[in-house]
Amino acid sequence: MKVAVFGLGYVGTVTAACLASHGHDVWGVDVDRAKVADIRSGRTPVAEPGLEELIGKAVADGTLHATTSCADALDEAEVSLVCVGTPSTTGGATDLSYIRRSVDDIVAALRVAVPSASGHHSVVIRSTVPPGTIDQAVLPALVSGLAGTPITPGAAMCPEFLREGTSVADFFNAPLMVVGTSDPVVAETVTSLFGFLDQPARVVEPRTAESLKYACNAFHATKVSFANEMARLLRRVGVDSREVMSLFVEDQVLNISPAYLRPGFAFGGSCLPKDIRSLLHLARVNSADLPMLSGTLATNELVIRDVVDRVVACAGRNVALLGLSFKNNTDDLRESPNVELAERLIGKGFHVRIYDPVVNPAKLIGSNRRAIEAKLPHLSRLLAHEPGQALHGADIAIVSSGDQAVRDALVRSGPAHLFDLNGRLGQQVEALAGYEGIGW
């Protein structure tokens, strides 16, 4: 397939060389003549292990070309991969001027180029761009710019996951191949372009693909900062943080795993809030700042406040709260965000009926009993014996229980507003009118 790669920096050069090494006819384009000259003479413009060898062989084989001319690169090309920079502006926004310029260059060149055999041209953004860029900037510029030509354009976001220093190896062992497009022809083109990678293409909406790259980088930054915050505290109390963290990563059930990474309601229970407070106290008395860890409590509070605000914005005052304990299959009410939610809604004048398949106020003992007496002393009067009773006359249902009886009752009663706090109710319930998934 003939491919034009715009931007011969770290991402573009690696992408061009790796695609060319698998037999694609690759044309790299850059405004920087020195980079183009490097590649033409078989050298790499960026230092990356293994890249010079790949470029040298691909240039000698005639599968890799470099040029400053968009027109040469786009004659009969099926696809353009855009790998130009997306730096920060002084205010922190993403500077999309290089992306816009490249798309304009592609449009201008396609208007005079020999069209591809299919008459279709896919513009695939590999640079990291904010959600909405494909739909609001790239696709409209292509469609309006190519109107009246024989070329049918399409666009996709295909995030790049390589890391500098290991980028060639990362390209061939990509953790994911994600194609963000609503155009089936583009999805098919990109899937076949990268078909030699042993990684199935996941076709999603452009905004999902655009957001995914930010989620990945935000998570990586969070991981580094988490380890470094733990180290800052542990060093002060004489503990070897590297030993702690090397044991920490051995837990691949809860720590290095998908656990706790599903957007949903706030955390709570008898351990997490208490132990975060304890760590923060230890940090304070040892003069260590832990802004990220203390931020978890602020974020947790915002999650509860967000639900309250969204419920207040609904029509109706009758609320069914389905699920009260801090998670399913326990009657532990200590620091349950559902208890906090019930207290705040009652305080705002809502009529709240509660159903929890496990909580039985008569059986609550010890600190669990004290927790509920402090927050909801009249719990037994609010509790329903079965979910249908709590839902009777409810305008709003707030659900964290995954109990089957709860799902069945929701399907039967269909309240006007439904908040699925943990996103686990399933399609049958999600299809109900007014469904709103918290955390989506």
Ligand X SMILES: NC(=O)c1ccc[n+]([C@@H]2O[C@H](COP(=O)([O-])OP(=O)(O)OC[C@H]3O[C@@H](n4cnc5c(N)ncnc54)[C@H](O)[C@@H]3O)[C@@H](O)[C@H]2O)c1
Tell which one of 3, 4, 5, 10 touches ligand X (CB under 6 A).
10
3-class state of residue 354 by DSSP: strand
Indicate the residue among 15 and 21 with the shorter CB distance to ligand X: 15
Does residue 29 interact with ligand X by CB under 6 A? yes
Tell which one of 9, 42, 437, 439 touches ligand X (CB under 6 A).
9
Residues 128-167, one symbol each (x = binds ligand X by CB under 6 A, - = not), give: x-------------------------------x-xxx---
Does residue 400 interact with ligand X by CB under 6 A? no
Size of interface with ligand X, in residues (CB under 6 A): 26
What gap in Å lies between CA 315 and CA 313, rounded to an integer? 7
One DSSP character per residue, 107-153 reads HHHHHHSPPPTTSEEEEEE-S---TTHIIIIIHHHHHHHTTTSS-EE
Q: Are strands 79-82 and 120-125 parallel, antiparallel or unpaired?
A: parallel
- Element at 20 (helix H, strand E): helix 10-21
Name the minimum Å distance from CB 148 to ligand X: 24
- Is the separation of the CB atoms in 241 and 279 below 8 Å? no
- Is the separation of the CB atoms in 159 and 42 below 8 Å? no
What gap in Å lies between CA 239 and CA 51, rounded to an integer? 42
Residue 70 annotated in active site: no
Beta sheet of 25-29, edge-to-edge order: 64-67, 25-29, 2-6, 79-82, 120-125, 152-157, 177-180, 201-204
Indicate the residue among 42 and 264 with the shorter CB distance to ligand X: 42
Name the minimum Å distance from CB 390 to ligand X: 49
- How many residues are there in the chain? 440
The torsion angles phi and psi of 122, rounded to 5 degrees, stand at -100, 125
Indicate the residue among 105 and 403 with the shorter CB distance to ligand X: 105
Does residue 216 interact with ligand X by CB under 6 A? no
Residues 112-131, one symbol each (x = binds ligand X by CB under 6 A, - = not), give: ---------------xx---
Does residue 16 interact with ligand X by CB under 6 A? no
What gap in Å lies between CA 81 and CA 158, rounded to an integer? 9
Q: Which of these segments, 5-13, 137-145, 238-246, 316-324, binds ligand X (CB under 6 A)?
A: 5-13
Tell which one of 16, 19, 58, 98 touches ligand X (CB under 6 A).
98
Name the minimum Å distance from CB 205 to ligand X: 20
Indicate the residue among 101 and 348 with the shorter CB distance to ligand X: 101
Tell which one of 3, 6, 44, 168 touches ligand X (CB under 6 A).
6
Give residues in contact with ligand X (CB under 6 A).
6-12, 29-32, 35, 83-86, 98, 101-102, 105, 127-128, 160, 162-164
For the annotated catalytic residues, the residue numbers are 271
